[in-house]
A and B are shown apart, each in its own frame.
Chain A
Amino acid sequence: MLVYDTFTLPNGLRVVHHYDANTPLAVVNILYNVGARDEDPELTGMAHLFEHLMFGGSKNAVSYDEPLQRASGENNAFTSNDITNYYVTLPAENIETALWLESDRMFQLSLTPKTLEVQQGVVMEEFKQRYLNQPYGDIWLYFRPLAYTLHPYRWATIGKELAHIEKVKLEDLYSFYGRFYNPSNAILVIAGNISYENCKNLVTKWFGDIPAGPVNANSYPVEPEQTAARRLELEKDVPMTSISLGFHCGTRGDSTFYDLDLLSDILGASGSSRLYQRLVKDERLFADISAYSTESLDAGLFIISGKIFPGITVEEAENAIWTLLSEFIANPLGVREWQKVLNKKLTVLKYSELDVLNKAMNLAMFTHLGDPNRINTEVHAFQATSPDSLLALAQQLFRPENCSTLVYKAKA
């Protein structure tokens, strides 16, 4: 049982505190309610680019990183389609440095042409390094717009194309900052070796006088129900053909998420999973295959993705996946197999409690999902699933008309 407290400042900043006496460290984690789904379709990659700009210094801190390093701290951040999350780990006695830096850049960030120009360069190199200069690196750039026609999940966090990042202007940054970066649109988690009183005093001291701002009230176009199978075939200079299937599924917040998560483990998360066992081990069609879900705040995707051995046709490989799925949904699921993935999940959940940074991030995410206490109740939600509930979900998902298929074909 993880114990925490919450309070909200008058400016709307929601704060979660968790005391951990076993570490000399403190974590300051800030989640801003803004992600790639909030972007203008003609200026994608903006949320992530902005994350880079957040390190360009603020009114009272010319550099963000240097004072933090001087305080023996370390920090990083990530942007997803849904959120932007910043985190700092440092000796608990130095926590004020982190609060000073985080509050100053929330309040009065410096946005300069030089920082913009340099970070545009950095992000374009990141785009190349992760998506373009890697075999198979751009699969998601094609897959998203295939599976989503309307919802902003149709583009990747990095952006649709390099040109979007190149054309961002300083005015765009100012308006983005004004819309999303303020206490009313953020969740602050303080975890580690710091008492509740100390936390409350220091957070009030550094964040209390930042004016309230707009809460992100964006509503996102609902992806229309898919009614026919979709397919895209590309030919690329890669050694093995890759096949990806995406099925529309629920959200991270849905009660069926736990079934979904365990279902992906049963099908394709380990050596004894269904897909791996049959399609790699028994039939030697695939060199590798896995299943997972995107765990997004709006309706996500359940992905099955694998690479096929040379000499195996796309048709053979695809048929094998569908045969396996059809058999899976037509037969009862044994208790042992359900218990197996549940046991593995319990190990993962225990593992996630070991690290104070991990606990802080999870508290922020669950608060954003509506209830920090889900950090404690998730385990029960997993235990409350059953072989039947997993199977019922599988029957809903694995229909050809709910599926988008991307074949990333190796050039002959």
Chain B
Amino acid sequence: MIDRSQIPVTRIPSKLPEINYSQQRLDNGLVVYCAQDEEELVRISLIFECGSLYENKQGLASALSKLILSGSRKYSAYEIEERLDFYGAYTDIDCTYSYISFTVFCVKAFVNPILEFLSEVLMDVEIPEKEFRLYLDKSIENLKVNEQKTSFIARRLFNENLFGPGHPYGQSMKAQDYSALSRDDIQAYYQDYFALGLQQVQVNTPLDEASLLLLSKFPRGTTKTKANASRIKEGEKHVEFHHADAVQASLYLGLPCLSRQDADYPAWSLMVTLFGGYFGSRLMKNIREDKGYTYGISAGTHHLPDRSFLGIRSDVKNEAKSECVNEIFKEIERLKTTPIAEEELLTVKNYMLGSLQRSFDGSLALGDRYRVVLDHNLPLDYYQTYSQKILHLNKEEIYRIANKYLDTNKIHVVIVGHFEK
């Protein structure tokens, strides 16, 4: 019989693979970033700098991203979708504050037909009125569904109060915002921004000459001026929203915080993980594993262009909603008053380093890391440096970070649930 009381010895993964992408500048000036390893499954991201910070009317960028395959001068929506499906392509069109990224997954054999087709379609979009109407009708109905969800309302109220309802990050689409959109607005946004061309291309595997030639047919976009995202007008610190049908309450708490560029970021990040960033976090242990008030609670750092914030969210037992908020504040106080035990620090460090290692595993994961590096203007060895810093953090440092950044006077609290009158 084996002695099961002997815990196996473990090692900490300390080395991360290098991000080894080639950079090629095509004749049109477009930069193509390709990973070096051969893969049969190809992911190509075409990145257009025309996210919602460029729009002058709320909802244009998002609408364009949803309608980008709705028709071109030559092809109908059906013809476009059918052709991409026939090539076995899966598309993922993401609209952020900075860009619209058009990502396609396919097998190697279809890369060139797809690129050729996309170069025709994406650069010649003519949105049919009928497709626009359908988009609007669907969006308005889906919004009504979302507005019944406590978690949706909580996030909306949190953003409004953290940034102010007039700030790009504080806004969210309401029914009247959809109604204010017209097909011509979106077409104009396409012409003024998207149609100028794309800024970069990222691929999880090398492309052949023919593919690069096809990419060189895309125009290369020029950078335009973004909206100013610096003027923040904070709202209420404590918001309670009564939802008559709620059987659970959604909580959203948070405060502005430091960005990845900050020297304190690794320590902050470790503190946030310890607080609510993994299954063994203090919030999970307290609210879920000790009290059974929730299926899950998490805290994480969200990075928007020029702004970062800490967000804490959970759906909890309605009757326990105030108690949960109090417990979250207690856990914050605990971080600020009691230095963490060496054992717990070691667990979090090891967990984080394992998590980093997993986030580099495989060509798609590696591509995601590279994307973060490019988007945030970080040095190529950012993650290597970050992981070394995590490895060497001590409890005094975490204590210092908690006291420096977790100012409870700055925390916004949103509770959406059933409130007794």
* Chain B residues, CB < 8 A from A129: 248, 295, 315
Chain B contact residues: over half helix, strand or loop, or mixed?
A: mixed
Q: Which of A18-59 contact B (CB under 8 A)?
A: 22-25, 59
How far does the alpha carbon of A384 sit from the alpha carbon of B245 in the complex, in Å?
51
* Chain A residues, CB < 8 A from B357: 24-25, 72, 91
Partner of A347, one of B41, B288, B294: B41
What is the minimal beta-carbon distance from B166 to any residue of chain A, in angstroms? Answer: 28
Known: A104-B4, A238-B145, A270-B85. A122 touches B288 (CB 8 A): yes
CB <8 Å contact, A277 and B11: no
Chain A window 285-313, contacts with chain B (Cβ cutoff 8 Å), 1 for yes, 0 for no: 00110000000000000000001011000
A235 near B: Cβ within 8 Å? no
Count contacts on B: residues with CB < 8 A to the other chain: 71
CB <8 Å contact, B137 and A125: no
B176 near A: Cβ within 8 Å? no
Q: Which of A313-354 contact B (CB under 8 A)?
A: 336, 339-341, 343-348, 350-351, 353-354
A70 near B: Cβ within 8 Å? yes
Interface centre among A69, A93, A118, A288 (most CB of B within 10 A): A69
Known: A129-B315, A205-B2. A90 touches B354 (CB 8 A): yes
How many A residues are at the interface, by size bracket?
35 or more
A120 near B: Cβ within 8 Å? yes
Q: Which of B73-116 contact A (CB under 8 A)?
A: 77-78, 81-82, 85-90, 105-107, 110
Residue of B nearest to A343 (CB): B88
How far does the alpha carbon of A340 sit from the alpha carbon of B88 in the complex, in Å?
7
A280 near B: Cβ within 8 Å? yes
Interface centre among A67, A70, A128 (most CB of B within 10 A): A70
* Chain B residues, CB < 8 A from A205: 2
Residue of A nearest to B17 (CB): A24
How far does the alpha carbon of A350 sit from the alpha carbon of B106 in the complex, in Å?
9
CB <8 Å contact, B88 and A272: no
Q: Chain A residues in contact with chain B, CB under 8 A?
A: 22-25, 59-61, 65-67, 69-74, 89-91, 93-94, 96-97, 99-100, 103-104, 107, 117-123, 125-126, 128-130, 132-136, 205-206, 209, 237-240, 270-272, 277, 280-281, 284, 287-288, 307, 309-310, 336, 339-341, 343-348, 350-351, 353-356
25 residue pairs of the A-B complex, CB under 8 angstroms, read A25-B357, A69-B279, A69-B348, A69-B351, A70-B346, A70-B351, A71-B350, A72-B12, A72-B353, A72-B355, A97-B8, A100-B4, A117-B292, A125-B248, A125-B294, A240-B145, A271-B69, A281-B134, A287-B142, A340-B85, A340-B86, A344-B88, A346-B88, A350-B40, A350-B41
5 nearest CB pairs, A to B: A121-B292, A72-B354, A343-B88, A239-B144, A96-B8
